[in-house]
């Protein structure tokens, strides 16, 4: 399955709100805190632009105002175009003044997440990670620990979004298996699981595969990437091909 993604920084949002619909403006006006308002605008701007580029329609304020992202009863985002349900699935995330939007065909189970590799306590790992994941964290190269914890956490978030459940589910009910691309050996390019003694691959211009097993038997295939300070994960069902970056017009 093809999947697409786009990121936008807060600095890229217009100062005006002409790209918002009447419904959008009312929702924004109901948010009390400045940070929440800023995050909401950034997420909506990113999603609207991503969808416009994906659909190959204009990205002017009037056209963007006709695209709306509304929460379903589960809280998952649903897309409307000209007040009618759109035939598309999306997933949103924001972190550190950057927002990302992933897009797939309608009916797909899709989750996308942004995270920053930062120091997490041992208590955090004990409380939120399954025993299998904890074992991997304790055995990975020390220099990669923060990155691995961020990767596992982000992939959990992506899977819980794909399940349309969010953090209402126990994070230990989804178990992440990071995977790396072999660069040598008898089978160059084959996929192997990340072994405890290996270093995490540097994914500046590439995506590396991952897999998430859920307690109910659902399995998600996905991808992860780490560039600069941001780590990204994407999971989906059906199985997604390597994500395609949408080009800003």
**Residue after which a domain boundary falls, among 61, 90, 109:** 109
pLDDT at 205: 53
Strands of 84-85's sheet in order across: 67-71, 77-81, 84-85
Task: Specify the residue for token string 């349309």.
Answer: 164
Buried b (16+ CB within 10 A) or exposed e, 71-93: eeeeebbbbebeeeebebbbbbb
Place of tokens 């998430």: 212
pLDDT means over runs of 10, the chain (249 residues): 96 96 96 94 98 97 97 92 97 95 97 94 94 92 88 96 86 88 39 48 70 94 90 97 88
Residues 132 and 236 in one domain: yes
Instruction: Examine the domain organization and report whether 195 and 166 are in the same domain.
Output: yes
Helices (H), ranges, the chain: 22-29, 34-55, 61-65, 122-128, 131-139, 145-162
Of the residues 109, 137, 155, the one at which a domain ends: 109
Same domain flag for 35 and 137: no
What pTM was computed for the model?
0.89
**In this structure, what is the dihedral angle of CA atoms 191, 163, 44, 240, given to the nearest 10 degrees?**
30
pLDDT the model gives residue 244: 94
C-alpha to C-alpha distance for 138 and 33, rounded to whole angstroms: 39
Reported as a single tens digit per residue, the pLDDT across 27-40 is 999 999 999 999 99
> Does residue 117 share a domain with residue 100?
no
Q: Which residues span the domain enclosing 232?
A: 113-245
């Amino acid at each position: 399955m093809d999947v697409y993604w786009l990121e936008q920084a807060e600095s890229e949002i217009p100062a005006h709100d002409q790209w918002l619909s009447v419904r959008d403006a009312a929702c924004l006006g109901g948010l009390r805190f400045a940070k929440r308002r800023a995050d909401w605008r950034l997420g909506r701007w990113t999603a609207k632009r991503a969808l416009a580029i994906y659909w190959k329609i204009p990205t002017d304020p009037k056209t963007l105002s006709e695209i709306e992202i509304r929460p379903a009863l589960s809280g998952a985002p649903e897309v409307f175009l000209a007040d009618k349900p759109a035939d598309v699935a999306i997933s949103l995330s924001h972190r550190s003044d950057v927002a990302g939007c992933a897009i797939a065909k309608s009916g797909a189970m899709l989750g996308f997440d942004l995270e920053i590799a930062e120091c997490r306590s041992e208590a955090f790992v004990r409380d939120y990670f399954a025993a299998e994941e904890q074992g991997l964290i304790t055995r990975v190269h020390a220099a990669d620990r923060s990155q691995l914890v961020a990767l596992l956490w982000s992939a959990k978030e992506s899977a819980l979004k794909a399940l349309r459940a969010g953090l209402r589910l126990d994070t230990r009910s989804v178990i992440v298996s990071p995977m790396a691309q072999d660069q040598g050996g008898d089978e160059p390019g084959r996929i192997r699981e990340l072994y405890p003694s290996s270093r995490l691959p540097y994914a500046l211009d590439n995506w590396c595969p991952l897999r998430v097993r859920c307690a109910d038997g659902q399995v998600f295939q996905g991808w992860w990437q780490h560039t600069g300070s941001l780590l990204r994960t994407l999971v989906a069902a059906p199985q997604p091909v390597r994500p395609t970056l949408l080009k800003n017009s």
